[in-house]
């Protein structure tokens, strides 16, 4: 059975504590550990990926390494998942650097960039991927602190990281932000999350224009439903069971299915692609 067949709903009902772990997921996500084949398209490049311990970020980290890039993984506190991701990077013959901490803090974002410059000497790719989401059935259920935390993690951190990284990025560098299908089709039970994803899309478009004179490209990827620890740790079990079922393909994506979009946007071949949103949504159009 292929890994895409294993995640066709109905999925096993399950629940985890935030932020969730790969090991507790049923079925286990496919990040490309045994399937992604690199072609040297990012040879010699140095990348930063936030949220690179699991989910989309882990799949992108594995793909980048197999394409020839050294990778710094920024993550919150999921040490076991992060160390496992680092092992896959190193198995590809590339350097892995792990930096735990809360990217909602501006000082920590600057520390991530400083660590990358110290380890690599340059920054060629910045993938702003880490995200926080929680499900709420009514407006009154959303605590002020939750609203603030979602914005700090999902959009404020992107500003802090980009501002610190840009002086170290040369012509031809790439910034890739993870937005969501929720930027165009906001789900009412994900109001804080969906709102930040719309902000990310606008941030990407404006930043692409602002950094174009420096030769730095800025794009975003808009995933649909993806089978990551964020799902069982932030959604009720009955919603996990049906996750992705309403999309045209009829299932969520495996994280590995997102990686090619990030690789493409990071390559030199994408030299005229900037300010774009690449939808990876299983047939759900973003117009």
Give catalytic residues, as residue numbers: 193
d(CA 75, CA 21): 12
- How many Cβ atoms sit within 10 Å of the Cβ of residue 114? 13
Helices (H), the chain: 55-66, 79-91, 106-120, 144-151, 157-165, 191-211, 230-234, 237-241, 259-266
CA torsion sign for 70, 51, 74, 16 is negative
d(CA 227, CA 55): 7
Residue 10: which residues within 8 A CB-CB, separation 6 or more? 241, 242, 245
d(CA 172, CA 270): 10
Both structure tokens of 168:
């170290």
Beta bridge partners of 70: 46
């Amino acid at each position: 059975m292929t890994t895409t067949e294993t995640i066709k709903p109905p999925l096993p009902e399950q629940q985890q504590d935030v932020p969730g772990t790969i090991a507790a997921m049923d079925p286990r996500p496919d990040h490309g550990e045994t399937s992604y084949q690199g072609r040297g398209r990012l040879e010699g490049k140095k990348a930063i990926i936030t949220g690179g311990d699991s989910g989309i970020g882990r799949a992108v980290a594995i793909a980048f390494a197999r394409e020839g890039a050294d990778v710094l993984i920024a993550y919150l506190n999921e040490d076991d998942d992060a160390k496992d991701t680092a092992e896959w990077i190193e198995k590809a013959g590339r350097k892995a650097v792990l930096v735990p901490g809360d990217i909602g803090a501006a000082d920590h974002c600057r520390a991530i960039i400083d660590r990358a410059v110290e380890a690599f000497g340059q920054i060629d790719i910045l993938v702003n991927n880490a995200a926080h989401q929680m499900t709420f059935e009514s407006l009154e259920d959303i605590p002020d602190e939750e609203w603030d935390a979602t914005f700090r993690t999902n959009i404020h951190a992107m500003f802090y990281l980009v501002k610190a990284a840009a002086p170290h990025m040369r012509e031809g560098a790439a910034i890739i932000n993870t937005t969501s299908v929720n930027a165009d089709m906001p789900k009412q039970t994900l109001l804080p999350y969906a709102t930040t994803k719309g902000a990310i899309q606008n941030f990407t478009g404006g930043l692409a224009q602002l950094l174009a004179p420096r030769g730095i490209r800025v794009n975003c990827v808009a995933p649909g439903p993806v089978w990551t620890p964020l799902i069982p740790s932030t959604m009720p079990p009955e919603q996990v069971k049906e996750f992705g079922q309403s999309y045209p393909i009829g299932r969520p994506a495996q994280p590995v299915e997102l990686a090619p979009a990030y690789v493409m946007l990071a390559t030199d071949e994408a030299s005229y692609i900037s300010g774009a949103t690449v939808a990876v949504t299983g047939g759900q159009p973003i117009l």
